[in-house]
Structure 1
């Protein structure tokens, strides 16, 4: 099957960020200036200096365009259904005090160990403090793109492609669940016979932070628990002090067979062992109420697959375990 080719964006990525594509919803035409000003004003997270003067400067520099890359003038009428492209100005963000570690690199791929608190891709309040933007700025490669995603709070292996013409092949590999994955998590110790298989129906509703287990529905999520190992006393005591917890703690080796949103976190919590540091399960913490010294103890430690371009067996492992 031929891979679907995505059209090139009329504005190239800049400073690690792709241009925004905004469709005029209607019902009436409006000037391009009024349209862009309204879009920026309605942003939940916007830069305080992104004023009408800053918008006019975008027009003067030819940085507001249509799908064919033709520049738009401030007084041009934008018809309903028309797509307009321009660069947003990210709001100030609190720097995440962790570094991204390179695990492997060749001409096509970059595999890194993503730290917790760093989102994979720009979204909502997290734009510049994301793995994609940080790595594009550090390498100067604006085509660097993740082939998959890790939750913001999850650390570990993240694979990125270095060229636009190959990204689809690797993204499809992950989307088709043709990648073997292993994670480790630290949580209260459960008395489990291993391997154990957890199956449930997980749904993520739009606008809600947490995913939900739906009782009685056909399972769509499966996780294999390969091992459960009690932590050494010294490490257990150290984690109790950080997380203000008590009781036996264990390291879980997990293999997600499927890839539902927050699947491992939902399954661990449902089993009675919520992952240490999880800000959503079992209780959703308020936005912004986070302590960078208290990360979630879930890490992607292993990925393996058959390379879609060369057919070569690929295997990558994190250089350190979850701690």
Structure 2
């Protein structure tokens, strides 16, 4: 459903679905209860300034009754953001695709306390492409390759590549050296490299960590290969066959090689401000696929490097 409001400062308008009936006499009353954490008078003043609009772009008032409109659109009020002092780099741009190299700490899309400090908004503003849309996502803590669609007309073809697992994704990770590591017989999780690890991962509502269910059939799989190791860390190459939330972090933690500076796995640590000197040592390194429009084989590789990786690593 197209928005009646244009992209502003790289940020699209938010759409809200309204109930057709209920105990609220007006749209304003419903929104005041829905967004109870906001100052209600401040919300009402947004109606007075014509900042909340219907599908045809017409503004609603404080008195607009509930049931007249199914959806409304508005711009989120920008949060007070902590600046993320790392730049996103454009590696490739053509008529249909933008491939960017995302730094650690930068979320893919706006959300919560991040708006301007998101990869999508920064790139929309940098490139002047309001229609730019991510084709896939990376965790905020993960650095590396991200693909964006330039034109809505061709977006679906590229999204299907990911849905149908036709994109080869390669990651790197650095972990603390596992207990009992033997450089003469490198092994992980009790088996020699390469290691294939599978389990069942599900995201539970209101939980920041995913849940691993050992009683169910695996729905996630990762191939783990050894790049190098020294007397301090293990450097691995990861080839995920599936794309479950936090999959690589969960799998390495389960194998006894939790990724350095991971505050979620294997143990959830108390929430703390970002420590920019200690980024999660996980990097989306390579993307390979056959272009669905041209049939051309395409390959992209990050220019970033994990700071904790041994100097002898590939």
Cα distance, 1:203 vs structure 2: 1.4
Measure the CA separation in 1 of the matches of 2:153 and 2:49. Answer: 32
Q: Which moved more, 1:7-16 or 1:274-283?
A: 7-16
Task: Give TM-score scaled by structure 2 length.
Answer: 0.86
**Structure 2: which 5+ runs fail to align?**
179-185, 308-314
**Correspondence list, 1:174-189, <5 A:** 174-189=162-177
Q: SS at the partner of 2:154? A: helix
Give the structure 2 partner of residue 170 of structure 1: 158
Is the Cα contact below 8 Å between 2:101 and 2:144 reproduced in 1? yes
2:253 counterpart of 1:269: yes
Give the structure 2 partner of residue 213 of structure 1: 212
Q: Which moved more, 1:52-61 or 1:310-319?
A: 52-61
Q: SS at the partner of 2:5? A: coil
Give the structure 1 partner of residue 182 of structure 2: none
For residue 297 of structure 1, the aligned residue among 281, 284, 298 is 281
Measure the CA separation in 2 of the matches of 1:284 and 1:23. Answer: 34
Measure the CA separation in 2 of the matches of 1:270 and 1:142. Answer: 41
Measure the CA separation in 2 of the matches of 1:288 and 1:80. Answer: 44
Give the structure 2 partner of residue 317 of structure 1: 301
Is the Cα contact below 8 Å between 2:110 and 2:120 reproduced in 1? yes
Is the Cα contact below 8 Å between 2:135 and 2:159 reproduced in 1? yes
**Structure 1: which 5+ runs fail to align?**
1-6, 44-49, 232-246
Cα distance, 1:141 vs structure 2: 1.5
Give the structure 2 partner of residue 12 of structure 1: 6
Give the structure 2 partner of residue 160 of structure 1: 148
Is the Cα contact below 8 Å between 1:28 and 1:80 reproduced in 2? no
Is the Cα contact below 8 Å between 2:167 and 2:289 reproduced in 1? yes
**Distance 1:270-1:110 versus aligned 2 partners, 3 A rule:** same
Give the structure 2 partner of residue 126 of structure 1: 114
Q: CA RMSD in A?
A: 2.2
Give the structure 1 partner of residue 17 of structure 2: 23
Cα distance, 1:305 vs structure 2: 0.8
Residues 222-272 of structure 1, C-alpha deviations (whole Å, 9 max, x = no match):
0001224114xxxxxxxxxxxxxxx63011000000000000000000000
**Correspondence list, 1:77-156, <5 A:** 77-79=65-67, 82-156=70-144
Q: SS at the partner of 1:78? A: coil
Q: SS at the partner of 1:77? A: coil
Measure the CA separation in 1 of the matches of 2:6 and 2:47. Answer: 15
Residues 265-316 of structure 1, C-alpha deviations (whole Å, 9 max, x = no match):
0000000011001111122233343311110000001001111222211110
**Distance 1:230-1:122 versus aligned 2 partners, 3 A rule:** same
